Structure formats: C-alpha cells, structure tokens
Chains A and B, each alone.
Chain A
Amino acid sequence: MTAVSQLALLFIGAALVNNILLTRFIGLCPFFGVSGNIQTSFGMSLAVVFVMMMASSATWIVWEIVLAPLGVGEFLYIPAFILIIASLVQFVEMYLRKSSPVLYRSMGIYLPLITTNCAVLAIATESAKPGFFKMNIALGASLSLGEALVYTLGVSVGFGFALLTFAALRERLELAPVHRLLAGSPIAFLTAGLLSLAYVGLSGWFGL
C-alpha cells in the first residue's frame, strides 16, 4: 500500500469510522453545550481543529525529545500534556486577540473552553504515544510527526462534522412539538443516539 493511501485511510478512519464524538464519547461537553445553533458550532469546530493540530504537534515533540528519552513519560505525561495544552491555548488566545481580531471574534471565546475538552488531551496523548487509547487500529506502534498530524486533522474534522450535523438537527428540534418531559436535553440525547447509530453502521469499513 502506498504512503498516500495509507494516510488517506488514517484520515477516514479517524474522521468517520472512529468518529470521536459519536463512537468514542470523547469531547461530549461542547457537543451538547454549544450545539444550540450552527453559527456557534462552526466557530467551535474551527477552534477545535486549530487547537488540536497545535496541541498534537507540541505533545509529539515533547514526548519524543524530552519525556521518552528521560524515561519519565509513564508518570509525568498527564500533568505535562495538560500543562502544554493549557499554556498553548493561552498563548494562541493572546496572539489572536492582538494580531487577528476577525479570527478572534469567530473562535476566540471558545479557546479557553477547549483547554478542558477531553478530546484535545485524548488526541494529543494518542498522537504522542499511540495504542494507549485503542482509538484506531490503523495506528502502528508509533507515529511519525506527519502521520500524527494527518490523524489529528482527521479526528478534528470528524469532530466538526458531527457537531455541525447535530447542531442542524437541534435547530429543527426547537420547532418540533416535543412532550414536555422530553423537551430540551432528553430529546437531544435521543437524537444523538440516532446519529450515533448511523456512525456505528460504518464500523468495519476498510477494515478500520
């Protein structure tokens, strides 16, 4: 198999077959929190793609250069990675506020929220030390930086796609007559269940 098709499989596997929101339950807080309307979901998705790419490259580099050679990775990776992500997000926020007000307005307010999004920590850890989370069987024992970035891109695009689909459904639900006990969050969960059912149908595609 050529390298390109390998990467394409990695991308599809991460984005659709092992969709992080609907088949792994990672990062559900924004999935229910900001999916009220499409505009905010779009800003959130953009911010997630952006932060995940940054976080994955940072943790990959730190793992390869500092934690693994020193042999302290096993018990320092949790504090190390979360601190990297938190400070990175803080820097990105400050930089965006100064340099690009337009971009800041569209995704800036979601940046602090993303620090405590489990999806970012999960994927950053998975890129640095794959296999740990059993996220995707297409991953080998270790990833090169390029593979890690393609994988992260796939996951974050899948995140955005699922979030936007769900937001569109929820906007329709607002107008639908729903029983008073089910209105609001219960019906949102049932809808998410149906959406997830569709993704489960993809499992096994390309042997992923």
Chain B
Amino acid sequence: MSEWLRVFRQGLGLENPLTVLMIGLCATLAVSTQLQNALFMGVAVVFVLTMSNVLISAFRRQIPDQVRIPIFIVVIASFVTIVDLVMKGYVPAVYQVLGIWIPLIVVNCIILGRAEAFAYRNPVGLSIADGLGMGAGFCLVIMLLAFIRELFGTGRIVWFDTTLISMPAGYAPPSLLLLFPGAFFVFGLMIAASRWLNERMASVRAPKGGAS
C-alpha cells in the first residue's frame, strides 16, 4: 500500500508530467483559457491514462516487444474514441470548445509515455496508481493555469453560465492573458514558481513534495 501511495504521489510532485517532465504541453496551453474546459480536459486525460494503463499492464506479458507501440496506440485510440463520443453526446457545449483536443489525446505524449515507461513494466495495481497520480498532476497544473488565466484575463470565473468568483468592479482585464502568448508567459512563470517552491521545501526539509 505504501508503494502504491509513493507511485501515486510521484505524478503530483517529483515527476509531474507538465512542470517537471514537460510532456503533453500542447493541450495544456491550448485549453487552459477557462477553468471549466480545463476540468473536462483533465478528467478526459485521467480516464484515458488510467484505463490504457490498466489494459496494457494486464496484457504486458502477451504483448510482443516488437509491435508494442502500435498496440499501445490502438488501445489508447479506442479509449479516446469512447471519450470523444461520450463528450459529444453529453456535454456538447464543452465538446464544441475542446473539439480538436479530444482526438489529439491519442498523441498526447503523457499517455504513450506512461504506457511505455510504466504500465508495460509494472503490475496492474501500481499502474492504476501511476495513471491516477500522473492524471492528477496533469489536472492540478492545467486547472491552476486555467484559473489564473480566466480570473485575470476575463475578471471572473464562470461555471456553466454561473459566475463563481469575480474581480472587484473596475478591474480591466488584459486580454493578453487569454491570447496565445499569455499561456506561454503564465506557464513559464509557473515553472519558475514551482522551482522556487521546491527549493524552499528542500531547505525546510518538509517530507512531502506535493506542490507543483
């Protein structure tokens, strides 16, 4: 059980796919204009990542080494198709915005990377931990990025037409944050901030490294 937790926690902190490993950036930067979209994207990635991890890990002894990459891709593509059709059917408003990025989960480096680096070599239980942990790390970063961009870029956080938080009246939001360059700027500063946080934690000798 402690092994399970250790693997789970790695995705959140020390091996965070976005801020540390720097993979799967495309979707992160693109959909993080709104907290709501970021959440759905995060959930989609967690689902595909965990399910493909489970399936690949369960069949890891049967999958021949030479053709493993095509097999991984087919497995991932099937789960992505499920997400694609479910989102199109149940949350069409979100699907309209995410559109392109749902099919592109197939080629998200995080998922293929974890299949190859973790699920193919480890038992099912640990692979679930890895999928959930990496997925949670992805969610955390993408939602934080979306929160900053939406709050400061539009002046409020909107959840399906309901305003959750809004900046004080008179706040003039810089639209730069919502545009493409804003994503690069905010993300770059976030990595710098997470480094600073890691340095502080290392100097305090706090046992947990949960922040990203």
Contacts and interface: CB of A to CB of B under 8 A. Distances in A.
B73 A86 contact: yes
Secondary structure class of chain B's binding surface, majority of residues: helix
Interface string A81-94: 01100110000000
B117 interface: no
Interface stretch (A36-44, A150-158, A193-201): A193-201
Contact of A28 (B29, B182, B189): B29
Contacts of A135: 100
B84 interface: yes
Please classify how large the interface on chain A is, using the bins under 10, 10 to 19, 20 to 34, 35 or more: 35 or more
Contacts of A87: 70
Interface stretch (A17-25, A99-107, A168-176): A17-25
A121 interface: yes
B189 to A, nearest CB: 7
Given A83-B74, A134-B99, A186 B192 contact: yes
Contacts of A29: 23-26, 109
B188 A188 contact: yes
Interface in A93-143: 115-118, 120-122, 125, 132-135
A78 B182 contact: no
B179 A200 contact: yes
Contacts of B81: 75-76, 78-79
A134 to B, nearest CB: 7
Closest 4 CB pairs of A and B: A189-B188, A193-B184, A79-B77, A25-B30
